[in-house]
Structure 1
Amino acid sequence: MAFTVRLDTAFLVSSVLVGILYGFSVLMFIGTIWTLTYKRRTQDINRSTVAAATLLFLLSTVDVILVIIEVEDGLVKYRNKFPGGSELFFADLLQEIFIAKNVIYTLQTLLGDGVVIYRCYVVWQSVRVIILPCMLWCGIAAFGICWVYAPRSSSPVSGGSYDQTFIAGEMIWITAFLTFTLATNLFSSGLVAYRIWTIERKVSALRVTKRKIPLLRVFVDAAILYSVALCSFIVIIYAYSSAVFYVMGDMLIPIISIAFYMVFIRIAISKHTQDGWSSETERGTLQFRIQPWQSGPRQSDMSWPTAQK
């Protein structure tokens, strides 16, 4: 007997999990802004990173608001008014809130993958390296437009459900969208990790102290977190249906934010530690240069001791 999930139940569980993940992402966002701005001059703040983190936070916040409104409409406001009850209400793909959530998820995915590609370019300083990631990013945008626009080009048949042709086509768009973003994330993160690894090998002999938390591991952890989430949702699509993905897909938005906040915080801490180490080195060098001039005995030290009465 196949295991089935009611959409209203899935929406309720998903909204709770989204709230938990969003709360954690808010804490990560606060930590990101604090790490990027604490004890830093205005000209030293990385404005592009702050802007990206703020956009991720705003998109996550808007998505949570839409989830709350949709759950309240389906379970309370239109529970007895919508034909077929709350389950068919959540199965209606033509609702404005539903389409708005898809747009937000597409925008956040494009923003996150764009940050990964830009980070890859900064590390490699080569346009040729990011040609394939940029092509994949364009594919993400194209498939995102298709799977957002697809529900508007169709209408449900009797009973509020959609025909199998539409469902199969929708699953193709969603799968292609997730596959392209997974490939972009893995390929770009792999290039960044490889570049950092090669640089670490070259300078490891010159470094006096080793980092307690290697920056490479942070990139790998963030890539694994996002990749596991994407693979899980791809399995959900084929195990159940695309409608279940629309419900559980809300959890991907805070997961994307959390993954990037992890990287932002670690990079800021690493840069702050490196700047502090450089300052300590400069002060130590200056003290070493001044010390020989002060090593001679001072005039007060050369006086004879006086007899104590």
Structure 2
Amino acid sequence: MAGEDPFPITAAQLSGNFCETLFYGMYLVTFCFCVHTLLITGSGREERWLRPYEIRWMMVGVAISLFAICTFDVAIGLLHNFHAFVKSSNPTNELLNIADWINIARSVNQVIAMILGDFVLIYRCWVVYGRRWLVIVPSLVLYLGGVSMACKLIEVEANPSTLRNISLNSSQILPWWIAFFAITAIQNTLTTSILVWRIWRVEKQSERYIHRSGSTAGNQPRHLRKVIRVIAESGAAYTLMVFSTFLVSVTKSNALYPTSDMTIQATGIAFNVILVRSSARRDQQFTVFDHNERTTMTEQRTGGSTTLGQIHFVPGQSAREQDVELNVKSVSVDKSSESQSDIYPNGITVTKSVIKS
């Protein structure tokens, strides 16, 4: 029929629920690995549950929150279709009722999941840069802008003055959707780029230690390169989903529904994959690298005399930041410590410059 929407809201909701379910299956697989990383340490016979003080509770809270959001969204999406196609005599009107609690709840799920995922990505960047706030200021500004757009979006949908029989492509809602996804895409691209850049620099520093020590570890697996690949690929996949949702929003297509549904699950997948490759010990290594880098820069500026320092990772207590010891008289790296294997393989001695008074 002339003038009929080639992709009506009914088809968009059904395809969205199907695609989201497929992505949810992938999310569950990565969630199991994430739980293992968060709650279990060691391998083989040495595998054990982490003690309460060793658990990174903030990451556990985010993981549980994303699991609840992703699961809840799949469930109410199926419920919405059941109401529309089974209980209602007019599926289109049922699906277009923007005031319905399911429509509002799904929008809330969307923005909260993405806000949590973006928060973790920025947090990872902050940790990798030695907890320096200046590095993440641009990302934080964009992040707060995205939060503002998300709040306005929910306010418009829940406002009684908003027209009821409309879709997400209506002129009242669409501008806020476009702004939210555009800001999120830019912020993710920026944060992922500077995160990968930092890890690449740490890897290059590791290679210099290998060459200086005359080690034969040239064929050792490049652990940080694997980390770079994982973060870059997962971050790029998530950003691609966000950018795709932004594009279909601009075109005012009902494809916004399936792409946004998949983006919720992609947020959880990206979080799980990045967290699996971001252990507490690796966080300590980046902290030590930043300390060494600052110390070296200070020495170069002042031209002071130096002594060799020690970086020693205390095995068995890796979940706490204070387990990284920085001594200043001897040089020693515990070769048996699992924590050094990612940055300083084969027990390579690491020296750092410390200015004497």
In the superposition, the TM-score normalised over structure 2's length comes to 0.69
Shift of 1:281: 8.6
Corresponding residue number in structure 2 for 1:229: 241
8 A Cα contact 1:237 1:245, kept in partner: yes
CA distance change for structure 1 residues 97 and 197 in 2, over 3 Å: closer, same or farther? same
Q: CA RMSD in A?
A: 2.9
CA deviations 1:200-229 (Å, max 9, x no partner) are 111113243232662111111011101111
Match of 2:79 among 69, 73, 77: 69
Corresponding residue number in structure 1 for 2:336: 279
Q: Does 1:262 align with 2:273?
A: yes
Corresponding residue number in structure 2 for 1:109: 114
8 A Cα contact 1:215 1:266, kept in partner: yes
Corresponding residue number in structure 2 for 1:245: 256
8 A Cα contact 2:19 2:258, kept in partner: no
Corresponding residue number in structure 1 for 2:173: 170
Match of 1:197 among 200, 210, 218: 200
Q: Does 1:149 align with 2:160?
A: no
CA distance change for structure 1 residues 161 and 50 in 2, over 3 Å: closer, same or farther? closer
CA deviations 1:164-218 (Å, max 9, x no partner) are 9x92342211111001111111111111111111111111132432326621111
CA deviations 1:98-156 (Å, max 9, x no partner) are 00111111111111111111111111121111112111111111100111121333443
Corresponding residue number in structure 2 for 1:94: 99
Gaps of 5+ in 1: 283-309
Corresponding residue number in structure 1 for 2:296: none
Distance in 1 (alpha carbons) for counterparts of 2:204 and 2:36: 31
CA distance change for structure 1 residues 128 and 13 in 2, over 3 Å: closer, same or farther? same
Corresponding residue number in structure 1 for 2:127: 122
Corresponding residue number in structure 1 for 2:190: 187
Q: Specify which structure has the higher proportion of strand.
A: 2
One-letter code of the match for 1:31? Answer: F
Corresponding residue number in structure 2 for 1:214: 226
**Secondary structure at 1:205's aligned position in 2?**
helix
How many residues are aligned here? 271
Corresponding residue number in structure 2 for 1:11: 13
CA deviations 1:18-75 (Å, max 9, x no partner) are 1111121111101111133332431433332222222111111111111111111111
Q: Which has the larger radius of gyration?
A: 1
Distance in 1 (alpha carbons) for counterparts of 2:124 and 2:99: 37
CA distance change for structure 1 residues 161 and 14 in 2, over 3 Å: closer, same or farther? closer
Q: Specify which structure has the higher proportion of helix.
A: 1
Structure 1 segment 15-30 matched on structure 2, within 5 A: 15-30=17-32
In the superposition, the TM-score normalised over structure 1's length comes to 0.79
**Secondary structure at 2:7's aligned position in 1?**
coil
Distance in 1 (alpha carbons) for counterparts of 2:95 and 2:257: 10
**Secondary structure at 2:205's aligned position in 1?**
helix
One-letter code of the match for 2:267? Answer: I
8 A Cα contact 1:35 1:269, kept in partner: no
Gaps of 5+ in 2: 41-46, 211-216, 286-314, 317-333, 340-357
8 A Cα contact 1:10 1:248, kept in partner: no
Distance in 2 (alpha carbons) for counterparts of 1:122 and 1:271: 10
Shift of 1:278: 4.1
8 A Cα contact 2:178 2:250, kept in partner: no
